[in-house]
């Protein structure tokens, strides 16, 4: 089966823009199964006062509710930025098949940058990783957000 990663990353970018509009770090995620979006989320850590309210976590939870099971076999997680250790771990535990992300995260990335949790042979499940999809847009959104934050702090 051929997957249109650009198409589904567009939906993740829409979620990231929603986070931006809510003054959250602009990361968005969607979970796709059988070529349909079954879960979506964007960062809500500030709004929910919850360190676990990352886009990927919310999208995985939404997808699990949709299918009625915590196992998301054959699902693809799209995230605008490389998932952190918590989100990569949640993807492994939920049996996600593939993680597709936009930009790398040099500070927290756990899908090849700092760690590589999804392919660690010590874990019971391994995940295919595809990076760099719509990377310029994802990175630009993050840079714009953090410029705005710095300008606000200076002003």
pLDDT at 74: 96
What is the H or E stretch that residue 38 is in? strand 36-42
Whether the predicted pLDDT of 96 surpasses 80: yes
Region 124-153: mean pLDDT is: 95
Tokens coding 51: 């360190």
pTM: 0.96
pLDDT at residue number 12: 98
Q: Given pLDDT bands bounded at 50, 70 and 90, which one contains residue 3?
A: low
Alpha carbon distance 4, 11 (integer Å): 12
Residues recognised as catalytic: 56
Q: pLDDT category, 119, cuts 50, 70, 90?
A: very high
């Amino acid at each position: 089966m051929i997957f249109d990663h650009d198409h589904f990353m567009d939906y993740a970018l829409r979620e990231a823009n929603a986070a931006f509009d809510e003054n959250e770090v602009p990361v968005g995620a969607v979970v796709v199964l059988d070529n349909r979006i079954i879960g979506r989320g964007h960062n809500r850590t500030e709004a929910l006062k919850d360190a676990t309210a990352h886009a990927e976590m919310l999208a995985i939870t939404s997808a699990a509710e949709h299918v009625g099971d915590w196992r998301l076999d054959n699902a693809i997680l799209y995230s605008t930025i490389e998932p952190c250790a918590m989100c990569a771990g949640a993807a492994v535990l939920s049996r996600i098949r593939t993680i597709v992300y936009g930009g790398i995260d040099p500070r927290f990335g756990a899908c090849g940058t700092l760690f590589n949790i999804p392919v660690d042979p010590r874990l019971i499940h391994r995940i295919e990783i595809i990076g760099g999809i719509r990377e310029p847009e994802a990175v630009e959104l993050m840079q714009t957000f953090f410029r705005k934050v710095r300008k606000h702090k200076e002003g």
